Chain A
């Protein structure tokens, strides 16, 4: 597949129309999250106050342009809520998202959509079964009023080429395509606006392994060709290790460790990261299933444990862990952050 010849590489565009943005000398990271929090209110009623559930608490992250940031953690840890905030699908309770150094708060949804696009997990439910592929992929252009009908059709055809779909797919319906082909359609739809940032929320979990490899290769090619920045959310640690530059590990709404791929996979420092990595089953016969010595389930996020939220499951927990929440800090000055009293 020759990616380069089909679509010119779109340069980064500032979110607002002010021309001065391009003249800033130190380029801001493509995506920056500053103290981002999201809480929901559960239950409650006319005379009763609801409980507050902190789905995401005080998350700060920088993703430099052209890099892949992996986000891992168990279900319910807040990964998807975080993704929703980045896509402008839900407003943060506190904190800011900066796209290209510009705060997302107040930016309109359409302007944001030109910069940040999603690829979701399930290509069976994320595509409208009653629309043809050309309509699905071309819809963003229509919404944004880009080009004439003919120009739009040409761009759709180009984009289908880029993601490795045959031209005839344009006239087909999602039901006529395989899972891998559908995920290519979802990728084409995300790329047609030529975004800088793509939020990949478990993009291969619904696919068979042989197809998963094709999609991962495609994502890597596209990143190269278009200089894309990815936030890659996945529970498959082998895939994350293969794809990312940096990794953030989330537990109960907070980032507990963040660092480069080598730092996290080579020498994890947080006991939760260690347990997570130990429980990944690599295809090596004879090793058996490891005993990760961690309690059963995540605690109730609406009543998080005191101190370090991981202490009830942590093999190393001591009194201080029950009383004081460890701060996420770059203790060693090696640009890796970890939130553990004993790291």
Chain B
């Protein structure tokens, strides 16, 4: 049984012009100890999905799902009280901007220990010891002194390390990391990602890693789900996705980033023309068809999820046919 099992998850938000269908019936699952990347561009619903899983959706949002189970617990019917017992204790979250996620008025020690004292009922001393241990594990020197510091006294990279330590305080089964390295420099990003991957494997934590960066995905994910306009349009084990992308959107995304050594410098990049459709009101047919180089009249109908090889699915009428015309991205070795 997967740790997290999601079937037909929908999130609707009432807006002035009607209803915004932010998440439109997505399926995915996360196994224990696995790193799943949710990848997509802004507005594709990836952050709404993570908030839905954490039970942190805006009050006016409406969530429905055929199944939304965490370790066999049905999250859709859980009371807010039970939900909040789960949050922090068994599922925790790392946000993009640690400065806004950390409380500027409390010391790091306070914030690190609060959760574990509440959820695990340990003493403050035990909590502090664990905090020091984890701060050291995430590579922060003078960990003991740091407990008395405030968030503004740390650099961005250090703050994000604190967030990771905080997420691990209660030894959760699942961590949801929403663009945790997007605001950081590349050198710091590499260090943080390495650390997250190492700790994840050591503690056997499952991670849902949300990002728009296909470079990051390639290096850390076990499996990938690509989102577009509120749907998962393709999911696959990482090597398969990069070697044989089955959806035209995935192919487009992969070919519009310049690949050093493959894309001739100064040449025109393959861009995906147009913009994402509005998700207010009903979306009929394939949401990508107005930007798709292969669109056919058939695409007016909602495409089925087609199975390709080994746990690889794509939501495209032509996913199982060979790719026609436009330049096929070179396969990665």
**Using a CB–CB distance below 8 Å, which chain A residues touch chain B?**
74-75, 178-180, 208-214, 216-217, 220, 235, 237-239, 241-243, 261, 265, 275-276, 278-292, 294, 296-297
Task: Evaluate contact between B212 and A279: CB separation under 8 angstroms.
Answer: no
Task: Evaluate contact between A280 and B194: CB separation under 8 angstroms.
Answer: no
A275 contacts which chain B residues (CB < 8 A)?
Answer: 187
Task: Evaluate contact between A210 and B187: CB separation under 8 angstroms.
Answer: no
Task: Evaluate contact between B258 and A210: CB separation under 8 angstroms.
Answer: no
B275 contacts which chain A residues (CB < 8 A)?
Answer: 178, 180, 211
Task: Evaluate contact between B259 and A238: CB separation under 8 angstroms.
Answer: yes
A278 contacts which chain B residues (CB < 8 A)?
Answer: 190
A276 contacts which chain B residues (CB < 8 A)?
Answer: 186-187
Tally A-B pairs: CB < 8 A.
138
A111 to B217, CA, bound (A): 47
Task: Evaluate contact between A217 and B218: CB separation under 8 angstroms.
Answer: no
Q: A217 with B271: in contact, given A210-B252, A241-B265, A283-B215 (CB under 8 Å)?
A: yes
Whether B213 is near chain A, meaning CB under 8 Å from some CB there, is yes
Whether B63 is near chain A, meaning CB under 8 Å from some CB there, is no
A284 to B218, CA, bound (A): 6
A288 contacts which chain B residues (CB < 8 A)?
Answer: 197, 219-220
**Closest CB-CB distance, B214 to chain A, in whole Å?**
5
Task: Evaluate contact between B188 and A238: CB separation under 8 angstroms.
Answer: no
Q: Contacts A211-B275, A261-B265, A265-B260 given; 19 further ones with Cβ under 8 A?
A: A209-B212, A210-B253, A210-B256, A213-B257, A213-B270, A213-B271, A214-B273, A242-B263, A242-B266, A281-B190, A281-B213, A281-B219, A282-B218, A283-B242, A284-B333, A294-B191, A296-B155, A296-B157, A297-B158
A217 to B272, CA, bound (A): 12
Whether B139 is near chain A, meaning CB under 8 Å from some CB there, is yes
Task: Evaluate contact between A216 and B254: CB separation under 8 angstroms.
Answer: no
Max count, chain B CB within 10 A of own CB: residue among A214, A217, A265, A289 = A289
A214 to B273, CA, bound (A): 8
Partner of A75, one of B185, B213, B238: B185
**Using a CB–CB distance below 8 Å, which chain B residues touch chain A?**
41-42, 139, 155-158, 185-191, 193-194, 197, 212-220, 238-239, 241-242, 252-254, 256-260, 263, 265-273, 275, 332-333
B256 contacts which chain A residues (CB < 8 A)?
Answer: 209-210, 212-213
User: In the complex, what residue of chain A is closest to B224 when comparing beta carbons?
Assistant: A285
A209 to B42, CA, bound (A): 10
User: In the complex, what residue of chain A is closest to B194 when comparing beta carbons?
Assistant: A289
Q: A283 with B139: in contact, given A209-B257, A210-B41, A238-B257 (CB under 8 Å)?
A: no
B189 contacts which chain A residues (CB < 8 A)?
Answer: 279, 281
B42 contacts which chain A residues (CB < 8 A)?
Answer: 179, 208
Could you list 23 examples of A-B contacts with CB < 8 Å?
A: A74-B188, A209-B253, A211-B275, A212-B256, A214-B271, A216-B258, A238-B258, A238-B259, A239-B258, A242-B258, A242-B267, A276-B186, A278-B190, A281-B186, A281-B218, A283-B214, A283-B217, A285-B218, A289-B219, A289-B220, A291-B194, A297-B155, A297-B188
Task: Evaluate contact between A290 and B258: CB separation under 8 angstroms.
Answer: no
**Closest CB-CB distance, B188 to chain A, in whole Å?**
7
Partner of A208, one of B157, B193, B212: B212
A210 contacts which chain B residues (CB < 8 A)?
Answer: 41, 252-253, 256, 271-272
A214 to B257, CA, bound (A): 11
Task: Evaluate contact between A209 and B41: CB separation under 8 angstroms.
Answer: yes
A238 to B239, CA, bound (A): 21
Max count, chain B CB within 10 A of own CB: residue among A75, A214, A283 = A283
A180 contacts which chain B residues (CB < 8 A)?
Answer: 275
User: In the complex, what residue of chain B is closest to A243 when comparing beta carbons?
Assistant: B266
Q: A283 with B218: in contact, given A217-B271, A238-B257, A289-B194 (CB under 8 Å)?
A: yes
Task: Evaluate contact between B254 and A283: CB separation under 8 angstroms.
Answer: yes
**Closest CB-CB distance, B16 to chain A, in whole Å?**
14
Task: Evaluate contact between A235 and B186: CB separation under 8 angstroms.
Answer: yes
User: In the complex, what residue of chain A is closest to B273 when comparing beta carbons?
Assistant: A214
